[in-house]
Amino acid sequence: MNEKSKVLALKYRPKIFEELIGQKVASDTIINSIKADKVPNAYLFTGIRGVGKTTIARIVAKSLNCLNGIEKLCEKNLCTNCEGISKSSHMDVLELNGADKTSINDIRDLIEFSRYGPTSSKYKIFIIDEVHQISSSAFNALLKILEEPPNYLKFILATTEIKKVPVTIVSRCQRFDLSRVKSEDLFQFIKKVKDKENGNVSDEALKLIVKISEGSVRDALSLLDRGLLSLNKNKELDLKEAQKIFGYFDKSQLIEMFDLVLQGDEKKVLEIYRKIFDQGINPKVFINDFLELIYYFKNINSLTLESTNFSLNDEEFSKIKKISNSIDNELLILFWQFTIKTIEELEVVSNQNLSIEMYLMRLIYLNPFKQRIDTENDNTKLSVEKDLNYTTKNDAINQIKNITQEKKIKPVSDTNIKAENRIIDSFKNLLDICNEKKEIKLKYELEKNVNLVNFERNRIEISFNQNLDKSFVKELSSKLYEWTGERWIISFSKEIGQMSVKQQADNDKKKLINDIKKTKLYNDLIKMFPDAYLDDVILNKKDDNK
């Protein structure tokens, strides 16, 4: 095949170890073992598609059989052995596909063929690609010869599914886990290829190719090849054109949409999504990108721009960092779980586009951690648990459910209330006024069912138990306005807060009883009346005039 007519993935396939990218550890180990004449019976290469498993297998085969030796491995002027291996026509290097040779009979033929030594090279080498696809009986047939092959025989196995390869096979091989190629290394590589091909491609478009390829060199070269063929030579392949060609959209649109979801702007969220959909974006691609964005919002403070693998540019990175400061981590984790669930739903929905729109609407209303009652502008909004049911009585952390409900409370009419302009500067002060005004029910709720988290001027932050009356906030905010002439904000917190007044009183009573039980008087009484039981203690108030 003419070099010019080859696709880029084949044209720029590495021929020697030095041309490999991203697999230096594996390369150095193999080179050193060959130089030291400590070549293992079998190599096993595993990793995702396009990281160089079969390529390294062929380079290893050439390194073992090159007429010039490993020190002067053929690069351009190939010896007969290297040329035959490169063209997959060498008599002593047999390359098999595990998907084709799956049966035990195929492996038996292989073993029978291995009895004969090499014809024109030092080693007879069997390269088995996608080895995980051969049958269990075929694996069993390989065990003995893998462990003790003839000196002239070497095996090189490659697989993308290492978990499907029996442990007994893996233990007989020298295993190399080939990693995804780092984004920066892959970017520099395809940039050199672009220059060699005289391609007019912007760096931003190349970075998009790197992102889509997900560490696969073959995928990156295939995408670059497609991009170069899609445009005229005089026209540059920039980011916008690349997004159209590869079916990807501008990440800034997604960030803007996420911000609008948090703001609860349904109309604008749908407008942006429909623009994205009109660009021909697959709903699955959209939902996976949205999932990636949630990850960035959650972990942006522990990431650098480089660690995002070119998924974000400087402006997008800064914008995410700014928005993330106002988002609770719990909300992002909830979004993540809900998005995973939606990916599963896409498999059973006929119109995936409508499903995505409903998913975005549900996200808007799925905000369980902004539980606040704001009485500004004559409106009080109560965001509490839908039915105030709990799995555990004192489980303050789980007080808020995944689905919240807003109840609009009838605004207080200023004309019907004559404000007293009193100052309430503490929780105790509030209880005293409730007692003074004979607001017994309100005082009861505050003492028994409320845990104070924070109290400051015009703002009370509390947690509560399952017995709290549903009209509590309405009544409290109304009375506070009546007594102080000012509007108050009452917010529910995820924190447990202080013990309720009732709990504190009960604890004080128990402590007092325990202290009395330690006195001599109590012990003398128990001796006289063994069946006696101390139920309560009432302290006498001292008369200051005596």
Where are the domains positioned within the chain?
A: 3-177, 183-246, 256-365, 372-498
Give the single-character DSSP code of 492: E
pLDDT (tens, 9 = 90+) of the chain, 546 residues, equals 566 678 888 888 888 888 888 888 999 999 999 999 899 999 999 998 888 899 999 999 999 988 888 888 887 788 888 888 888 888 889 888 888 877 888 888 888 888 888 888 899 999 999 999 888 888 888 898 898 888 999 999 999 999 999 999 999 999 999 988 888 888 899 999 998 888 888 888 888 888 888 788 999 999 999 888 887 777 888 888 887 788 776 677 888 888 888 888 888 888 888 888 887 777 888 888 888 888 888 888 887 766 666 667 677 778 888 888 878 888 888 888 888 888 888 888 888 888 888 889 888 877 543 333 333 333 433 333 333 333 333 343 343 333 333 334 344 444 444 557 788 888 888 888 888 888 888 888 888 888 888 888 788 888 888 778 878 888 888 888 888 888 888 888 777 778 878 788 778 888 888 888 888 887 877 777 777 777 777 766 554 444
CB within 8 A of 425, min separation 6: which ones? 457
Beta bridge partners of 96: 128
Q: Which CATH architecture best describes the domain 183-246?
A: Orthogonal Bundle (1.10)
Tell me which fold the domain 256-365 belongs to. Answer: Zinc Finger, Delta Prime; domain 3 (1.20.272)
Q: Is 206 exposed, middle or buried (0-12, 13-18, 19+ CB in 10 A)?
A: buried
**CA 422, CA 223: separation in Å to the nearest integer?**
72
pTM over 0.85: no
CATH class, 3-177 region: alpha beta
Q: What is the DSSP code string of 205-216?
A: HHHHHHHHHTT-
Long-range contacts of 304-308 (CB under 8 A, 24+ apart): 306/183, 306/184
